[in-house]
């Protein structure tokens, strides 16, 4: 265990923090205020401070903070178990008041409802939900790529039709929602439904490979600037595919050995520092439209378990 005395006047105090997976706890005079686990402790602390600029609760917590305790771990799973064990023994004062997943978001799809593609913080309606994703900005960038390549609707409001259609910047999918308008077979809502699912629900839809081929063609033709412009898109599409495959598998992960038990992608038992910890099985009831949706507060745990088991199989 290491300790950093916090100095509110030192803007560079996190620069010396080590890299790698770590459990951390922010202490105040009355005890532990908040704890977590992260692969980038310096960045995590900077994010917490940036949130304090807009959120009074974060500001209140950091105002009381006096020191940062942290322990480095060799694996993400070990850091996660340290975190869960610490919560089992004592709940930090601000732990449930501050949502570490407040920047997460779901992708929502519905070919028969405006705006067809949406980013949302919940799964309470009847859209088809995927996620959550750790960044709405990442999700927005992926949507931009798919909407451009497949000519999907990129609606910016619930009002339709908008100026994009007469300006020939949209195929006018929304016009099919107007009963007085004849339905275009080429741009029907059933066709849109197929395109949305092809783009966002099928990991091996070939779009990543198509962009990679275009990038390679530019490189072969010595058009390196154009090729470089596609590198970021390829990275985003690779990350989206990887996360989508995870979502397909997360709820079906069951595993047990002498130190760890997992059911439905959640830890139910583990042994940490010669002590056994037990947790209830996940009883969440998901609707059909939530088949690829996980709870925000447990998605990181499921991802760590998924990566751990995938590495074991290699």
Distance CA 5, CA 52 (A): 19
- Coil, helix or strand for 118? strand
Element (H, E) at 266: strand 266-272
Residue 289 exposed, middle or buried by CB count within 10 Å (0-12, 13-18, 19+): middle
This prediction's pTM? 0.89
Which domains are assigned to the chain?
2-89 (3.40.1440.10), 101-201 (no CATH), 203-243 (no CATH), 253-313 (no CATH)
Spans of the chain below 70 pLDDT: 157, 161, 163-169, 179-184, 314
- Coil, helix or strand for 209? helix
3-state secondary structure 151-177: CCCCCCCCCCCCCCCCCCCCCCHHHHH
Closest C-alpha to 84, from 255, 251, 250, 267: 267
Q: What is the pLDDT of residue 12?
A: 83
Q: Are 250 and 242 in contact (CB under 8 A)?
A: no
Distance CA 218, CA 212 (A): 10
Q: What is the pLDDT of residue 74?
A: 94
Q: What is the pLDDT of residues 207-226, one digit of tens each?
A: 899 999 999 998 898 888 88
CA quadruple 61, 99, 250, 152: dihedral, nearest 10:
-130
Q: Is the peptide bond before 252 cis (omega within 30 degrees of 0)?
A: no
Q: What is the pLDDT of residues 252-306, one digit of tens each?
A: 999 999 999 999 999 999 999 999 999 998 888 899 999 999 999 999 999 999 9
Distance CA 78, CA 152 (A): 43
Distance CA 195, CA 243 (A): 20
Helices (H), the chain: 41-52, 56-64, 76-89, 136-150, 189-200, 207-220, 224-249, 299-313
> Which residue has 């609760």 as its token pair?
57
Q: Are 188 and 112 in contact (CB under 8 A)?
A: no
């Amino acid at each position: 265990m290491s300790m950093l005395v916090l100095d509110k006047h030192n803007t560079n105090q996190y620069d010396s923090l080590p890299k790698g997976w770590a459990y951390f706890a922010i202490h105040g005079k009355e005890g532990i205020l908040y704890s977590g686990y992260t692969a980038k402790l310096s960045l995590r602390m900077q994010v917490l401070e940036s949130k304090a600029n807009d959120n009074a609760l974060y500001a209140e917590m950091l105002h009381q903070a006096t020191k940062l305790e942290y322990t480095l771990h060799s694996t993400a799973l070990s850091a996660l178990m340290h975190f869960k064990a610490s919560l089992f023994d004592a709940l930090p004062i601000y732990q449930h008041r501050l949502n570490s997943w407040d920047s997460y978001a779901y992708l929502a799809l519905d070919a028969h409802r405006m705006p067809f593609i949406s980013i949302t913080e919940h799964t309470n309606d009847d859209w088809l939900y995927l996620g959550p994703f750790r960044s709405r900005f990442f999700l927005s960038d992926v949507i931009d790529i798919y909407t451009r390549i497949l000519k999907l609707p990129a609606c910016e409001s619930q009002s339709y039709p908008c100026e994009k259609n007469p300006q020939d910047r949209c195929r006018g999918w929304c016009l099919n929602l107007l009963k007085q308008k004849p339905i275009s077979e080429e741009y029907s809502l059933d066709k849109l439904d197929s395109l949305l699912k092809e783009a966002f629900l099928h990991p091996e839809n070939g779009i990543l490979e198509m962009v990679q081929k275009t990038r390679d063609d530019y490189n072969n033709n010595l058009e390196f600037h154009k090729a470089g412009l596609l590198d970021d898109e390829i990275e985003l599409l690779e990350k989206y595919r990887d996360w989508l495959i995870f979502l397909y598998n997360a709820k079906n992960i069951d595993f047990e050995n002498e130190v760890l038990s997992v059911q439905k992608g959640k830890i139910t038992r583990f042994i940490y520092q010669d002590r056994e910890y037990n947790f209830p099985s996940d009883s969440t009831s998901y609707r059909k439209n939530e088949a690829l949706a996980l709870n925000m507060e447990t998605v990181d745990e499921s991802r760590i378990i998924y990566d751990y088991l995938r590495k074991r199989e290699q």
